[in-house]
Amino acid sequence: MACAGRLAAVVLLAALPLAGCGTPPELRRPAPTTAPTRTAVPTTPSAAPTPPPATGLPGTGGITPTVDPGLVAVPCPDGPSGTRIVDLVRGRGGVLPNGVRVRVRTGPLCAGEWHYTVLDVTGHETLQVITQGRPGAPRLVTAGTDVCTAEVRAAGPPGIRTRVCEGGSLGVPGA
């Protein structure tokens, strides 16, 4: 019987490695094509939520970008006044005599430290005026019916150049 015990042990040892293999891959059924569904387990976040990125929109707490003040000619919030421009053109500029009636039609419009004003002059053509500097002390750059001069083209801010050199004037005949 000792021989039979040994034989049984040898058969068992030979069969054991084969028993763990299971069905060969080529005989197995194909795996299902859909992934098994799982139930989500609610978890508590381990870190504080990330705030949304700053959009620059009002009320969102983001930084609001500022526009370059020279890009667009807008009504001057701090001057110079139309009266100041008329006085400048009459006085030191010597463009208009004192007896001529003048009315401010447009402006002054500001783009950076430059100002654009359109004046209606009784008995004469519409006068365009470009000034530059602080609102209380502007200097006359040019005045006339065509103020798109070399200085305005070279040194003027885009808001002024667009208005006077590229046909962006406010209803000024001939401009």
The residue ranges of DSSP E strands in 63-171, in sequence order, are 74-75, 102-111, 114-121, 127-132, 139-144
The average confidence (pLDDT) of the chain is 73
Pull the structure tokens for residue 85. Answer: 């421009």
pLDDT exceeds 60 at position 158: yes
**pTM for this one?**
0.57
Give the mean pLDDT of 32-58.
53
130 in Cβ contact with 106 (< 8 Å): no
- Burial of residue 121 (number of CB atoms within 10 Å: 0-12, 13-18, 19+): middle
Q: Give percent of the chain with pLDDT exceeding 90.
A: 31
174 in Cβ contact with 127 (< 8 Å): no
pLDDT score recorded for residue 90: 85
Cα distance between residue 103 and residue 121, in whole Å: 7
Q: What end-to-end distance do the CA atoms of the chain give, in Å? A: 124
Give the mean pLDDT of 23-41.
57
Phi, psi (rounded to 5 degrees) for 100: -85, 135
For the segment 107-118, what is each residue's pLDDT rounded down to a tens digit? 899 999 999 999
pLDDT score recorded for residue 97: 76
Give the mean pLDDT of 1-17.
54
Choice between 103 and 59, residue whose per-residue pLDDT is larger: 103
Q: How many CB atoms lie within 10 A of CB 109?
A: 19
Pull the structure tokens for residue 20. Answer: 């763990």
pLDDT score recorded for residue 92: 67
For 14, 89, 114, the CA distances from 97, given in Å and listed in that order, are 124, 9, 24
For the segment 98-153, what is each residue's pLDDT rounded down to a tens digit? 788 999 999 899 999 999 999 999 888 899 999 999 888 899 999 999 999 999 99
The CB-side HSE value for 14 (13 A sphere, CA atoms) comes to 6
- One-character DSSP codes across 18-35: HHTT-S-GGGSPPPPSSP
Query: In the 8-state DSSP scheme, what is residue 124?
Result: S
Give the mean pLDDT of 72-97.
84
Give the mean pLDDT of 65-86.
81
